[in-house]
Structure 1
């Protein structure tokens, strides 16, 4: 289905029956990344972010601002008649889920973050990341989506995905190739880690149960997961063995088991 919020059409898919859980995908992905997600007793509400999947891809960068995204997601959820729900976010979707949970804390019953950052806390790292985001955004506009797919798939963070079956790698590539250059560029400039607020100090304010999931081979986000756990007693960190950054795609059965055990 499509739900229009302030002239922007969002693609939404609902799977299963039970308590609602909002699922937010990562950068250059779309809601089909949750194809193998199975959560017992939960209704999955899958949303394509603005600029991704079948949602609108406006050229104006104002729609890609974090405050606009959070506001639109909340209005979309209200259109579905929901007041209480859980939320799951992967990578960029996890950063946005964290920001959302801090803004709409009374609505979130449980929060699951997969391979997600709280934002760059070091000033020099933020400056360097902002520069990297801008350069990548420019390259995507100039070189196109096919170039981006090859570049992104060869990042070291996705090295473990090279061992996946050919059909799974094809699905990942197809999701990236379905994007448009201006939309990915706008996303990087507005909500990439270089411009994303740092919520490290606010994590202590989360009162709902939180699960952080990381992959064994993803050293950076394993360390971040450990930090999350130390920052708030409501957060538990689980590491899935023999996977990298995208645990729900690389080992869907293990990911499902880990999340189902948390949601019980």
Structure 2
């Protein structure tokens, strides 16, 4: 299904019946990353971000900013006539979900963040990350989508995915290769971690129940999850054993069990 917001077409799917949960995918992914997610009594609303999946991929960078992404996401939800809903975000989608929950906290019932960041703390750290994102954006444009797939799949945070079945890794690769180089580049430069504001102080103000999920082998985001708990007593941190960064694909049954218990 398609919803058009300010001349940008967004693709989404609705699965199941019950309480609504908005599901947001990670960088270079699309809504099919949630294919194995099934929750009894919940309606899953899966959305392709701008520049990803079957949503529009405009050349203009202005549409890829965090401000516009948050505004358009809210308009999509308004068009779906949702007043109260939960939100689930993985990696980049988790950052967007966090920023959205801070902006529209009165609408969020529960917030679930999987392997995500609250933003780089400190000007120097943000500057370093911005340069790293810019260099990657340039490399994607220069070397192409197959180079990106090879580079991204060999990052240490995805090492544990090498034990997955070929059918699953082929699906992950298919999603990455379906991207346009300029759209990924625009995403990195306009809403990547280097451009994302540090939201540590905002986390303290969140009042809704919040679950942070990390994988046992993902040391960086396990540590981030512990920091989330320190910032806000409402936050619960669960670590799924035997998996890395993408817990919902590496062990979907364990992910569903943790998520269902929280919900």
Any idea what SS the aligned residue of 1:74 has?
helix
Deviations 1:37-66 (A, max 9, x none): 111210000000000000000000000010
1:125 aligns with: 125
Q: Distance in 2 between matches of 1:104 and 1:124?
A: 29
Any idea what SS the aligned residue of 1:260 has?
helix
1:105 aligns with: 105
Q: Tell me the CA shift for residue 127 of structure 1.
A: 1.3
Q: Tell me the CA shift for residue 123 of structure 1.
A: 2.3
Say whether 1:213 aligns with 2:213. Answer: yes
TM-score, structure 2 as length reference: 0.99
Q: Distance in 2 between matches of 1:101 and 1:41?
A: 22
Any idea what SS the aligned residue of 2:43 has?
strand
Say whether 1:27 aligns with 2:27. Answer: yes
Any idea what SS the aligned residue of 1:213 has?
strand
1:173 aligns with: 173
Compute the RMSD of aligned alpha carbons: 0.5
Alignment of 1:211-250 (within 5 A): 211-250=211-250
Alignment of 1:141-220 (within 5 A): 141-220=141-220
Q: Distance in 2 between matches of 1:42 and 1:100?
A: 21
Any idea what SS the aligned residue of 1:96 has?
helix
Say whether 1:137 aligns with 2:137. Answer: yes
Q: Distance in 1 between matches of 2:246 and 2:82?
A: 28
TM-score, structure 1 as length reference: 0.99
Any idea what SS the aligned residue of 1:182 has?
helix
Q: Distance in 1 between matches of 2:10 and 2:170?
A: 25
Alignment of 1:52-67 (within 5 A): 52-67=52-67
Any idea what SS the aligned residue of 2:140 has?
helix
Deviations 1:106-133 (A, max 9, x none): 0000000000100000322211111110
Q: Distance in 2 between matches of 1:38 and 1:111?
A: 17
Q: Distance in 2 between matches of 1:67 and 1:126?
A: 18
Say whether 1:40 aligns with 2:34. Answer: no
Q: Distance in 2 between matches of 1:78 and 1:42?
A: 19
Q: Distance in 1 between matches of 2:254 and 2:122?
A: 33
Any idea what SS the aligned residue of 1:81 has?
coil
1:70 aligns with: 70
Q: Distance in 2 between matches of 1:63 and 1:42?
A: 31
Deviations 1:167-214 (A, max 9, x none): 000000000001000000000001111111110111001000000000
TM superposition outliers: structure 1 runs of 4+ over 3 Å: none
Q: Tell me the CA shift for residue 258 of structure 1.
A: 0.2
Q: Tell me the CA shift for residue 149 of structure 1.
A: 0.4
Structure 1's unaligned 5+ residue stretches are: none
1:17 aligns with: 17
